Chains A and B, each alone.
Chain A
Amino acid sequence: MTNTTSPANSMDPLALELCALSKTFKLGGGMLHKPQTLKAVNEVSLRVPRGQVMGLVGESGCGKSTLAKMLLGLTPPSSGDVLINGKAIVNANQKALARHIQPIFQDPYSSLNPRQRIAQIVGLPLRIHALGTPREQAAKVDQMLDLVGLPKRAAQQYPGQMSGGQRQRVAIARALIMRPDLVICDEPTSALDVSIQAQILNLLLDLKDEFGLTYLFISHDLAVVEHLADRLAVMYLGQIVEEGTREQIFTSPRHPYTQALLASALTPEPGLGVPDIGLGAGQPDPTQPPSGCAFHPRCPIAQPQCSEQTPKLSAITHASGQAFGKGSQARVACHLA
C-alpha cells in the first residue's frame, strides 16, 4: 500500500486540494419570512495525493454530494478554493475542467440518455472536445468499451437494453474516455446487486492502476470504503470530523461519530446481533445546527464544553502512530479525542 506517502508533505503532487470550501444555500424566504441559511458544506479542507483513493463517508444530508458537485464545477462554492493538480478551478472554464475531473454517479438508470446508443454516449466527450477524426473517436470508444468489459455489440445498443451493472460500466467508460486525472465516484455501486457490485469494484481498482487515477470515493457502505480507500474522511453536518489513513480510521477511530458509524456497519457474522450504538434519533436540522460541536446532542461522551466551543479539526498523533508509517497524519475535530 502507498500509505507511507504523506498528504501533508508539500513535495507530494496533490491531485486535489480543498481549501476552506463552503457552500451555503438560502432556503425559503419571501414577503413575510426571512430566508434560512443552510451550510451544506462548511469550511472543508482536504488534500488528496495523486494515485490514491480518498473515501468520503457520512450520513445522508451531511454534504457529501454537494461537495462532489462543487468539485465538478456544477455548483459554484460560496467561499473557499478547489485546486486540481495545483490549479484553482473556481474561474476555470467548464470544458477545460472536464478533462481533469469526471464523475461516476450512483444511478446508472438516470445518468445515461435513454435515446442514445452506447457508442454515442461514450463518445460524446470526444466530440465535444473535438479530439480526433470520427474514425479515431470510434476506435477509442471500442477500446474503452473493451477495457470496461463490455462486448463489441454493446456499442450499438441503447441503455434500456442493458442491465444495471452493464450501464454502470458504460458510465465508467464515459468518465474515463477523456483520461481524467481525478474521478468522483458518488455511491457507484449502491444501486447494484451485491454480485454485480463486486464486478464493478474490481473494475474500478483495475482501471485505477491502468490509468493512474485518483478517486474521491463517496459511499455509505463502510465495508466497500475499507476495501477501496487509502485514506478516509468522515463528514458530519457539512464538516469533516475525522480524517486519516484507512488503518487509522478502521483500527483506532478517535471521533465518537466515526466510532458509532463503524459500530453500525453490519458484517455477515451470525450470532453477533445488532449493535446498540446509542446515537439518539437522526441528525439535527441542518438549518439550525447545534452550538459548539455539531455532534454533541447525539454524542455518548459529550461534556459541557462540547456545547459551547466548536472543536477545530486538528492534527493528532496516534498512540501507535509509527505502526501506520511515518508522516501519516490524521486529523480529528473533537475536544475529547
Chain B
Amino acid sequence: MKLKWMTIAGPAVVLAILFYMSRPAKSYLFEGSGSGTTFTSTAWSPSSFPIQWSINPARSAAIVGNATVTNVIINSFATWEKAPNTALAVASPSTSTINNDQVPNGVNLVCFVCTGSSLDFSNTDGTLALTLTSSTSNGQITQADIFFNPSPGISGQPGCFVTDGVPAGGNPCPATTPATVPQDLQTVATHEIGHFFGLDHSVITRAVMYPFAPTELTTLSYDDVAAISFLNPKSTPDVATGTISGTVTNGASGVFGAHVFANSNSSADPYAALPNTFSPVRKSPIGTLTFPNGTYQISGLPPDSYVVIAEPLDGPVTNSNVDWASAWGQTSVQSNFTTRWH
C-alpha cells in the first residue's frame, strides 16, 4: 500500500493514493440518493440474478438491417454481463406483445413499438430511446424498461436505427431529404442497458455512459467497468483494482460536484490480458464527482500510474447531464473554480 498526500494553494486537491486496497465504500455516478456523507446507489439485488427480461420483437418502420432486434439486445446485455470484475447475470428473454405504456409490475421490457400518452414520443423532437427504472426506498431496482422511439427524428427528417452496424460512409436508412444520420441500434442499446443496471451518465468522454457518443460505440471503457463492477462486484476480481481518494477544496470549503478523474500516464493495459470470454475493454480515464463535503473516491482502478485531474463540470458535460446534484437534494454542482491536476 502506498500513501501520498499533496496539497496546493487556492482551489486545492488533496489526494490520498491507495493502490491494491480492498473494495472501496463508494464511488462513481450511479442513480440513487445522498444524505450527509452517504450515497445510496440504486442497484439490482444479487438475488435478482439472473434478471428475467422480455422483448417485443416487433419492429417499427424506423428499424432497418438484417440482424434481429432480439439478437442486438442480447449482445448488448452480454457486453455488460461479461465485463471484468463484474457479477451480473441475465436470463434468456421471453417474448412479449406489449405495445403501449401499460407495462405490468415486474416485467423488464424492451420495446420498439410502444406508444402511449405517458411515453409521449414525438417524431420531431430528436428523442431516440429512454430507460425507466423503478426502485424501492432502500435503493433496490425492481423493474427497468427500455423504450425505443418508434418514430425517431426531427422535423422533416425521419430517423432510423440500424441493426447490423452503420457502414462507413453509407446510409442504410430509407432515403430522405435532407438525409438523416443513421443510429446504430447496439450503440444506443448498450448505453440504455447501463441505465437498466443503475448507472447514471459518466463525464468520461470515451465511456459508453457518456451522454453523447459517436455513431458507433459498443465496447466498454475502463470507466464503465469500474462503475458496473462497483455495483455488482465479483467475489474474486479478475483484475485487482485500487482506489484513489481525497478532497477537493476551495479555500477552507469542500467543493461539491467537482469532476475528478484519474488518467493513466503509461501504456499499461491490464484488461488486455484477459481471455476473450470477457468483453473487450477500452482504456480510458476513470472518474467521479465529489460529495457535498468535497470528498471523493475513484475505485476500480487497475494497477497503473495515474495523473489525477479536478475540473469544474462546465462542459461538454454539465450539471444538466447528470443527476448528481438532485440526488443530494441540490440544484446544481459547484463549477466556480479552475482545473487542477497532480
Answer yes or no: do A and B interact. Answer: no
